Amino acid sequence: MKQFFKMMFASALGAILAAGLLITLSIFLLIGISASMSQPTAFSPSSNSVLKIALNGALSDQKTDNPYAMLLGEEDTELSLTDILKAIKEAKNSDNIKGIYIEAGNFSAGSSSIDAIRRAITDFKESGKFVVAYGDQYTQGSYYLASVADKVYINPQGALLLTGMSSQTMFYKGLLNKLGVEMLIFKVGTYKGAVEPFMLDKLSDANREQISSYMNGIWDNITADIAKSRKITVEDVNHYADQGFAIALPEKALECGLVDELKYKPEAEEYVKDLAGQTDKKLKTVGVDKVRNIKSKEGKSKNKIAVLYAEGEITEAVTSPYSMDKSITEKVAKELIKLKEDESIKAVVLRVNSPGGSAFTSEQIWKQVLELKKVKPIVVSMGDVAASGGYYISCAANKIVAEPNTLTGSIGIFGMFPNMTGLFNKVALTTDVVKTNTYADLGDVSRPMREDEKALIQGRIESGYDTFITRCADGRGMTKAAIDSIGQGRVWTGEQAIEKGLVDELGGIEKAIAVAAKLADLKDYKLVEVSGSKDFLKDLFEKQLDEVKLNVVKQLMGEDFEYFKTLNLIKSAPAIQTRLPYDVQPL
């Protein structure tokens, strides 16, 4: 009998080991296949081709490829600003591409990113090639982009959702009071509105003032751009929004001059096909993913300008498993060190698209920007938002280039600590503490914070703010008093920031690259894109595991998931932060 069990266990163990080996080999096979699929291959378009830009999904600076999505044929809803700009540039220079067809869908992007694409399309039109846009339904962002086209068509039963901009803040103070939780707030900055949802039940006058200021500034730019492209007036654009015509049939959009004609999709595609000189029955297009890989003539120079992307909230190593959003960690600081030591890299463009976050991580990245500047030029290119911690990591650069609608500044700092005494009382939960020193239990949520503890924390916050404005003053060649006068947590648009001395020039990443080349005295160079992503294998499995967790929680919580996500971020966030007052809403 003993021999029988030995043989049985040996067989079972062998089967398990064999299965494990098979699974491991399968995983590596999948990784190899997906990695090879993600490798760009040179593309040569056929004659009379049309570049199709499908505005469907969320736009970010850099796209994170999902190998599983590629393998399973799932639709990837993430768009890359970098890829779109490169595709438009290659399409302009290709004799085989006759025009661009923009197909509007459920598109989500910041106005600064859309501005960058509009500029690229405007430049494309100088080649004499056509640009046509069609949409079953235009979101505000997709229409803002499509309005630059030669012709803008909309489905006869579609909608143009041009309504204007709004900003809504949710306040948690009442909810926390009912739960018996008091948030102790420590901050420096009159305009540092990130803490207001936990201490007020409506916007402060100062916060309302700043939101109104930058939001109206952005909307003025958007309406002016639409009016110029459509050859109508700003008043015409605002009239459409104010009358609520977004809910009306698209004839109103036609009457107001926002579109050229009502067409069904096959009719619009037939028009594009004729413009391109295609003779097939159906319109043939090529996507951004292919056109971006048209092999351009590369210069012979060995000199390189690196573009390092810093996108997302600034966090420490541990991030929330309930968010798949991009984040900035000390990985960016490590990449800056590598770029400093790489002699082939003659200049660096740091692309910042961040509302801020951890003050500690911001300081580590700032330090490496400063160290790199001692060796070679570094220029910051600001995206949709580069505020608070996003400005912190930018301020030491040689030059800062921002879009007119970039949200930046927000030079301030805050900390939040919960007091859960009320909640503990509600559920009859008690604690007892034994300690060796006065402040050994500092931050204990089960008791009210003492006045001496509050003084210590407020002192640390004020010290952090003094460090922040010192970094900005040193980087911008200004006095601390001057920085403080435009700091205090105040958010500025790029246009406003250049007047305040926080930004050097207005423009996109192409302008930042040109500035970097000039500072490095380079006329011939290659661009190298640097990503702060994790190791491929580790990132692949961690991402898939997090997606499983995320989907389970979403299914269970439904509409309440966003509230849970916010509260979870509060719990996992570092105590001291430099962050924008709210989550920037896309157009």
Among all residues, which ones are annotated catalytic? Answer: 192, 388
Residue 188: phi and psi, rounded to 5, are -130, 125
Residue 252 · residue 245 · CB < 8 Å: yes
Strands 491-493, 407-409: pairing is: antiparallel
DSSP 43: B
Angle of helix 81-93 relative to helix 509-519, nearest 10 degrees, comes to 80
Contacts of 275 (CB under 8 A, 6+ apart): 98, 99, 130, 132
- Helix, strand or coil for residue 357? strand
Q: Round to whole Å and give the CA distance between 226 and 223.
A: 5
Q: What is the DSSP string of 136-184?
A: EEE-HHHHHHHTTSSEEEEEEEEEE------------HHHHHHHT-EEE
Q: Round to whole Å and give the CA distance between 215 and 223.
A: 12
- What string of H, E and C letters represents the secondary structure of 284-351? CCEEHHHHCCECCCCCCCCCEEEEEEEECEECCCCCCCCCCCCEECCHHHHHHHHHHHCCCEEEEEEE
Read off the tokens for 3: 């021999």
Q: Which one, of 218, 170, 222, lies nearest residue 196 by Cα? A: 170
Largest CA distance in the chain: 93
Distances (CA, A) of 212 to 22, 167, 193, 491: 60, 9, 13, 11
